[in-house]
A and B are shown apart, each in its own frame.
Chain A
């Protein structure tokens, strides 16, 4: 299996462990990633706040690069915000008409063109549909028996494009988590919003959403995420959320490929657990 790989800006900075553990895990299961040369920012949520066309042209540039590189591979995207932006650009270009024309007119200034030939896929889409959870289970060398893991999906890998999961009650992480020997922590907020950039621009509102999620995760051994924004919101403000709610809301938060990698026998260093902001002692002892 081969894919183009679009890491996005966060995975080069605050979410390096997501990048490194994704590469390590996929490498361990024999998936080959082809780096997209000279990729640029997808526009994040900021481009949407400024200009409609910019929010389409920025991700489209990366699709055009993939088409130009050739090879007919899908683009694998671990960050949910990047995924949505690239996926939306793919959608608008595929539906043709005015949007496609406009986007290509903007791209032509950079000598690029995009026909929408490349498919954009979230990491969770690839993990849950292209890999086989049963054969993953066979390769587990460090089973996580007795652990209860809360799957956190967030928003933008599920909505508005319901490509691979139920956008209201997602389940795709469950077979993957079970393949490690762990159990699913039962909770109902896996598809709720983490507040996205509110923690930067409107922290008094963002913290309410974060505290609600951490509160629901009480009793889980870890929460796993598939998005750098979700991960950061859940791991970086636990002290603040705890004092807001007047109780201890600390929790272990890690990226899904980190959990899967550990179960396959990758070391703490290989999945870069040292870069996480919230990994509890109990989790370290049992899983790593």
Chain B
């Protein structure tokens, strides 16, 4: 099959950096810029660049513009765009693919989303299941915002009164049931 080449950079740029958009571009290549995704998106009101525009930037290889925008970080995975896209493209998956690139390459710029995912997965890795209390604690610590916990404390108290916050960690016998799985995935995906 002949791959259609658009106006995007080759496998690496002049500085020799790898083509970080390859996976996303593959998902979104047949986009016809109809704007159905934008029209379906519940978070579009808060985005600096619409989903349709984002796909244009991806096809043009505008790495800086893409990762300066917070459009993909605002995707709440509602799948409306995926359902309605006339080209039946995996639009939500493409948003997730951009989140994955951002988590690896510029974690600082997407601190809140990346910290959320990372502390969540750390808790899963340690215990096999998520301890919501431990997860929120480490999330606050990672955000280094001393005022953040106060935003949540009224709710925390309401949850605690109802015995919904477990003070103990979930046990599965051995604590590292998932450690080998995490390691295998890291090996297969070539990440540390």
Say yes or no for B105: interface residue by CB 8 A criterion.
Answer: no
The reply to whether B45 and A49 form a contact with Cβ atoms under 8 Å apart is: no
Chain A residues contacting B39 (CB-CB under 8 Å) are none
A274 engages B162 (CB within 8 Å): yes
Contact B164 A48 (CB under 8 A): no
**Is A28 part of the binding interface, using a Cβ–Cβ cutoff of 8 Å?**
no
| Cβ contacts under 8 Å, B73 to chain A | 202
Are A203 and B151 in touch, CB under 8 angstroms? Answer: yes
CA distance A205 to B131 in the complex (A): 25
**Given A14-B164, A159-B80, A159-B83: A46 touches B120 (CB 8 Å cut-off):** yes
Task: Please tell me if the beta carbons of B113 and A49 are within 8 angstroms of each other in the complex.
Answer: yes
Say whether B79 contacts A40, CB under 8 Å.
Answer: no
Q: Does B112 contact A (CB under 8 A)?
A: yes
Beyond A106-B181, A198-B76, whether A160 also contacts B82 by CB under 8 A is yes
Name the CB-closest residue of A to B70. A202
Binds B, one of A115-123, A189-197, A247-255, A260-268: A189-197
Q: Is the CB of B46 within 8 A of A50?
A: no
A193, B97: Cβ atoms closer than 8 Å: no
Docked-complex contact A200 and B124, CB < 8 angstroms? no
A100 at interface, CB cutoff 8 A: no
Binds A, one of B1-9, B28-36, B58-66, B165-173: B165-173
Interface residues of B in 82-108 (CB under 8 A from A): 82-83, 92, 96-97, 99-100, 103
CB of B180 within 8 A of CB of A110, answer yes
Q: Which of B158, B170, B185 contacts A53 (CB 8 A)?
A: B185
Contact for A51 among B74, B129, B139, B191, CB less than 8 A: B191
B45 to chain A minimum Cβ distance, whole angstroms, is 7
- Check B10 for interface membership: any CB of A closer than 8 A: no
The reply on A236 being an interface residue by CB < 8 A is: yes
B162, A275: Cβ atoms under 8 Å? yes
How many Å from the CB of A282 to the closest CB on chain B? Answer: 21
Q: Quick check: is A165 within 8 A (CB to CB) of the other chain? A: no
- Contact flags (1/0) for A159-180 with B, using CB distance below 8 Å? 1101000011000000000000
Stretch at the interface among A5-13, A139-147, A214-222: A5-13
Cβ contact of A9, chosen from B112, B129, B151, B158, cutoff 8 A: B129
Partner of A41, one of B74, B128, B188: B128
Interface residues of A in 12-52 (CB under 8 A from B): 12-14, 16, 38-41, 43-52
Docked CA distance A51–B182 (Å) = 10
Establish whether residues B177 and A46, one from each chain, have CB atoms under 8 Å apart when the complex forms.
no
- List of A residues within 8 angstroms of B76 by Cβ: 155, 193, 195-198, 209
**Contact, CB under 8 Å: A49 / B181:** no
- Give the chain B neighbours of A160 by CB distance below 8 A: 79, 82-83, 92
Q: A9 near B130 (CB under 8 angstroms)? A: yes
A156 & B191 in contact (Cβ 8 Å cutoff): no
A197 to B155, CA, bound (A): 15
Bound complex: CA of A13 vs CA of B156, how far in Å? 12
What is the distance, in angstroms, from B102's C-beta to the closest C-beta of chain A? 9
| B111-138 vs A, Cβ < 8 Å mask (1 yes, 0 no) | 0111011101100100011111100000
Query: Nearest CB to that of B124 among chain A residues?
Result: A41
Instruction: Pick from A9, A54, A107, A197: contact of B116, CB below 8 A.
Output: A197
Q: How far is the CA of A9 from the CA of B166 in the complex (A)?
A: 12
The residue from B74, B130, B164 contacting A205, defined by CB atoms under 8 A apart: B74
Q: Enumerate chain B residues within 8 angstroms of A12, measured Cβ to Cβ.
A: 129, 166, 170
B183 interfacial contact with A, CB 8 Å: yes
Residue A227 CB within 8 A of the other chain: no
Smallest Cβ-Cβ distance to A201: which chain B residue? B112
Across the interface, do B155 and A236 meet the contact criterion of CB distance under 8 Å?
A: yes
Q: With A13-B164, A156-B79, A160-B92 known to touch, is A46 a contact of B189 (CB < 8 Å)?
A: no
Q: Are B182 and A54 in contact (CB under 8 A)?
A: yes
Distance between A9 CB and nearest chain B CB, rounded to angstroms: 4
A55 to B185, CA, bound (A): 10
**A235-279 contact mask (Cβ, 8 Å, vs B): 1 or 0:** 010000000000000000000000000000000000000110100
> B residues touching A (Cβ–Cβ < 8 Å)?
42-43, 45-46, 73-74, 76-80, 82-83, 92, 96-97, 99-100, 103, 112-114, 116-118, 120-121, 124, 128-133, 139, 151, 155, 158-159, 162-166, 170, 172-173, 177-178, 180-185, 188-189, 191
Interface CB pairs A-B, < 8 A, 9: A39-B129, A43-B124, A49-B113, A50-B103, A58-B181, A109-B184, A155-B76, A193-B78, A208-B45
